[in-house]
Structure 1
Amino acid sequence: MTATSADLLEAYDDQLRQEAEVTSAREWHRHGPLVRAITGRGGFVTYRDLAGLEGSALDALIADTVAWFRDETDVSMFEWKTRGHDAPADLPERLEAHGLVADPVETVMIGAAERLDVAVDLPAGLVVRRAGDGGDLLADVSAAARMQESVFGKSGGPDPAELAEQLVESPELSELWLAEDEHGTVVSAGRLEMVPGTEFGGLWGGSTLAQWRGKGIYRALVAARARSALRLGGVYLHSDCTDMSRPILERSGLVAVTTTTPYNWARS
């Protein structure tokens, strides 16, 4: 039986929140309903739900969390990751009142990996492959990073050397997939990150050069990662996507189940 969007959201809440989001953290602990973590990039706050807290009790939890990151850690910033279906509805306003600033809203997309493993016709000369297969791994990762930086106008992804090391150390968890033209130029790329202890793999860092969009290349990368996720034991794929990526992922078979908005605190 095909999973409904409600089924997918339930699987997301049960498997991908709390500890599953901090598996690579340097340290983490529970504080009430929260999981508070120190990651390589700063701090991170996640939870399954807020245990019915609202009003002054919720304000106290937010204030305590800000104070802990400010006074007990050396991080320069932390992210409180909210979801659109979380209660209470006024959580965003309360976070902003404590100095946290919202990033753009993204859509959480989920799909069954077996339904995403499909054949996609590609332009002549295009090749889709896993980074390091038939090429130098660090060179592949670096070429993908340069392409993504040209798309986004900044370097927002993992450091190429650190990502290459991660791909070597944990091939059962992390992969980078590339699409190259006939000259060996990377025109599209995206990562697959399997989530330990869950049925999920994540689609991250997807981007395609503007002149190559609309040709099925990114859908082919989704299909390749779905195929690999199945090989690694995954059942579902998920992605936090922008409005630009959402139509592509919907055509690939992923379903929107909720939204997510990071709220960020930074030292002044």
Structure 2
Amino acid sequence: MTADAAALWEKYDTQVRGRAPEVFGVVTERDGPLVRTHYGTHGVVDHQDLSAVDDLPGLVRRTREEFARRGEPVTWKVYSHDGPRLTETLLAAGFTPGTPRSLLVAQVADVPSTDVKPRDYWLGLPYGDQERLRRLVEAAPEQRRPVSELEHDMDILSLWRHSRPVDLVWSERVEGTEFSAVDAITRPLPELLHAAADRARQARAPRTASRYLVAEASGDLVPVHLAAGFHEVAEVTPYRWAPPGEPARERPVRTLFSDPEHGALFRRFEQRFEVTYETADKGVTEPPGSVTWHMDAIDDWRDPLCREVEAVIARGLRARTRPGDRLYQLKWYVNGTVVDPARVGGPGRHPWVSCSYLPDENVIQVTGDLRMGTYGDHRERSLCVFGAELVAEVEEELTGLLGTVLRRDGQPVGNVWTFGP
């Protein structure tokens, strides 16, 4: 290893290796120098130096048991610097080695810029083009991370030719370090790495531009990285193990924006509740069985009263959701979220994601079949709960917290409330 490569490995080893990723919708656990990342569909193990671990078989056994409990296949990243003890322990525990990849690190300043100006992946991209690019991504060689794992958590740049997107690079800033990661490229094109370096050079805040880039590659992808200024600092081999059974196909919590299900659900909500972004100031058509309360006492989402309200609604939704239900949180022209209520909340799980009311924007929370949910109207400063089963769970507690009911079934109940003095 050259002196430059050794210095870059030291930077990676001290800053990135064994670091818990900051990724929406996943759960991370530390076990000494080990980090387990649970995506709900699969898991990844990374670690710092394990030479001081006396009971390495016990650490591997605990890790396997944890992924088995969650029903997640797991990939354990083994570095060439780790020595044979870890490899032997993993093989004895039933892990199977995959294809080794080169771990490549570059100083961002050493990677050339590109005259080709890539576009952010999702902005204005028709669904047909998205699907075509997904197929291109699926055919790409295995690299640092699959795009399906972090699709909504990274920068995804597309290169275009003749008004069509033809290639992708997906990358992420490794928060709290001097690194950005090139998670993968679709083909061995220098422009893709140059575009990733240009993005890494962009500072989101003072002194936050990245100084280093890290990537993993094999085969024909390695020379293009080396030519772009990367150094091969180690070899990394994925060791894999899967528990019996079929893993989940989606995360417990996902973001949504241009996904077809997001748009379709929004259209159904707008049609049923007779509201659009342009007409939201006039409120929605509240359905039979709904109850609406004043929220004038809440000026900030961090208000303890707001948290109590959210806790009541979360308990009601948890009690009334059915197997297979998905809970959606929607805002006009903003990323939404979808939650599997049966897989969030409680020890070792992603926290319950619930938002019924915000003082500064309208927010929708609804099951996929629209049978129950909430609508927080920030202009009227009101909260509507609909769906007889949900109302039955929360009405008494919410009335105790919020006081007078404003409407039932969309009709005033005799209370008068106006803006102004």
Q: TM-score range by the shorter chain?
A: 0.7 to 0.9
1:251 aligns with 2:227: yes
**CA deviation digits over 1:195-237, x for unaligned, max 9?**
11111111122113xxxx6xxxx21121121111111311111
Q: Give the alignment of 1:4-23 within 5 angstroms.
A: 4-21=4-21, 23=23
Question: Residues of 2 paired with 1:228 and 1:132: CA distance?
Answer: 13
Aligned twin of 1:112? 107
Q: Deviation at 1:134? A: 7.3
Structure 1 residue identity aligned to 2:156: L
Q: TM-score, normalised by structure 2?
A: 0.51
Structure 2 residue identity aligned to 1:16: V
Residues 201 and 149 of structure 1: CA distance in aligned 2, closer, same or farther (over 3 Å): same
> SS of 1:18's equivalent?
coil
1:224 aligns with 2:219: no
> SS of 1:28's equivalent?
strand
Aligned twin of 2:217? 241
Q: Give the alignment of 1:35-184 within 5 angstroms.
A: 35-53=35-53, 57-70=55-68, 73-87=69-83, 89-119=84-114, 128-132=117-121, 135-136=124-125, 141-151=130-140, 157-159=146-148, 163=151, 166=152, 174-182=154-162, 184=163
Residues 135 and 68 of structure 1: CA distance in aligned 2, closer, same or farther (over 3 Å): closer
Residues 108 and 21 of structure 1: CA distance in aligned 2, closer, same or farther (over 3 Å): farther
Question: Residues of 1 paired with 2:63 and 2:146: CA distance?
Answer: 27
Q: Deviation at 1:116? A: 0.6
Contact 1:33–1:51 (CA<8 Å) still a contact in 2? no
Contact 1:131–1:137 (CA<8 Å) still a contact in 2? no
> SS of 1:248's equivalent?
helix
Question: Residues of 1 paired with 2:31 and 2:20: CA distance?
Answer: 16
Residues 248 and 143 of structure 1: CA distance in aligned 2, closer, same or farther (over 3 Å): same
> SS of 2:176's equivalent?
coil
Residues 138 and 222 of structure 1: CA distance in aligned 2, closer, same or farther (over 3 Å): farther
Residues 46 and 132 of structure 1: CA distance in aligned 2, closer, same or farther (over 3 Å): closer
Contact 1:192–1:204 (CA<8 Å) still a contact in 2? yes
Q: TM-score, normalised by structure 1?
A: 0.77
Which fold has the larger relative contact order, with Cα–Cα distance below 8 Å and residues 6 or more apart in sequence?
A: 1
**What percent of counterpart residues are identical?**
26
Q: Give the alignment of 1:192-231 within 5 angstroms.
A: 192-208=171-187, 218-231=189-202
Q: Deviation at 1:137? A: 7.1
Question: Residues of 1 paired with 2:201 and 2:120: CA distance?
Answer: 18
Question: Residues of 2 paired with 1:50 and 1:25: CA distance?
Answer: 28
Residues 24 and 4 of structure 1: CA distance in aligned 2, closer, same or farther (over 3 Å): farther
Unaligned runs of 5+ in 2: 204-208, 245-421
Question: Residues of 1 paired with 2:92 and 2:123: CA distance?
Answer: 52
Contact 1:22–1:37 (CA<8 Å) still a contact in 2? no
**CA deviation digits over 1:25-77, x for unaligned, max 9?**
622222232222312432222211114236xx22222122222322xx32331
Contact 1:113–1:229 (CA<8 Å) still a contact in 2? yes
Contact 2:22–2:175 (CA<8 Å) still a contact in 1? no
Contact 2:169–2:185 (CA<8 Å) still a contact in 1? yes
Specify the structure having the higher radius of gyration (Cα): 2
Please provide the CA RMSD for this pair: 2.8
> SS of 1:85's equivalent?
helix
Question: Residues of 2 paired with 1:141 and 1:131: CA distance?
Answer: 12
Residues 24 and 48 of structure 1: CA distance in aligned 2, closer, same or farther (over 3 Å): farther
Higher share in helix: 1
**CA deviation digits over 1:115-166, x for unaligned, max 9?**
113346xxxxxx541225874376654442222234569xx94349x83xx2
Residues 244 and 40 of structure 1: CA distance in aligned 2, closer, same or farther (over 3 Å): farther
